[in-house]
Amino acid sequence: MPIVTLTSDFGLNDYYVALIKGAMLCENPNLNIVDITHNINNYDIVQAAFILKNSYQSFPEGTIHILSVNSFHDRKRKFLAIRHNEHYFVGPDNGIFSLLFDETPEDIYKLDFVNKGTFPLKTVFAKAVGHISKEMPFNEVGIPVEEIVERITFQPVIGPSQIRGAVIHIDKYENVVVNISRKLFEQVWDKRDYEITFRRNDPMDKIYNNYYDVPIGETLCRFNSADFLEISINMGKASSMLGLKIEDTVQIDFTPVS
């Protein structure tokens, strides 16, 4: 049974998600449709890419992932079908795929999008899912293209004794996720002492494994399940209590090498 995931900014109070699901099931009634989330902030392709990037590889190879966030970003309304890491992705070419992948995929196809009716998204998604899920030749899904729209994102600034990153995500519990990975931290760390600073809060000099490693109400830093640095408060709301928001700077200073 082909698996299709859905990630969108439609919310759950309207009929848009149902329209897309119904149209896909008309193309292939044997689909197993899984909702990743429909609570992406309006038009926030950065948030959508972060969530899907850190979840899609938990699904079996061959899964089809539908992305519909800021789908009507301009009049051209170009939509793509992509094969990457043995998964399939369908969505608008508005920069979201450059955030989702670390490199440009090899198999990219522009889908035939006919702007007719009041909600043409259901048609373009349903046709692509029907084509892929029925194991028709992928190179016949659309017209091959070599490039995708690029979206520039904040990357950590790295020095011999410093990493300067930025807040890239705040989850439901107001845990604050920073674009500093465990791998990057360990590359620069070299077993030195360090201080993690953000806003005007007291520096942190230890990274914990679990929230319960500190008393309730205390601030901690840890690497989350996606292996990104996270600033949290045990049983508290780090974002609002510490005054942190998206794109705020978080810096790690290491003891200089003597």
Q: What pLDDT digit, counting tens, does each position of 83-112 carry?
A: 999 999 999 999 999 999 988 898 999 998
Q: Which of 75, 130, 74, 82 is nearest to 106 (CA)?
A: 82
Asked if 154 and 179 touch (Cβ cutoff 8 Å), the reply is yes
* Selection from 65, 13, 61, 80 nearest residue 35 by Cα: 65
237 φ, ψ (degrees, to nearest 5)? -110, 95
**127 and 9, same structural domain?**
yes
Domain with residue 161: its CATH number is 2.40.30.90
Same domain, 35 and 140: yes
Tokens read off for 58: 């938990």
Residue 77: domain span: 3-144
Asked if residue 68 and residue 96 are part of one domain, the reply reads: yes
Query: Domain check: are 194 and 99 in the same one?
Result: no
Whether 150 is in a domain gets the answer no
Query: Cα(148)–Cα(54) distance, rounded to whole angstroms?
Result: 21
Closest to 141 measured CA to CA, from 112, 120, 104 = 112
Q: pLDDT tens digits for 33-81?
A: 999 999 999 999 999 999 999 999 999 999 999 999 987 756 667 999 9
**237 occurs within a structural domain:** yes
pLDDT > 70 in the chain, percent? 97
Cite the DSSP H helix spans in 59-113: 96-100
The count of domains in the chain is 2
| pTM for the model | 0.87
Q: What are residue 24's phi and psi, to 5 degrees?
A: -70, -40
What is the CATH number for 76? 3.40.50.10790
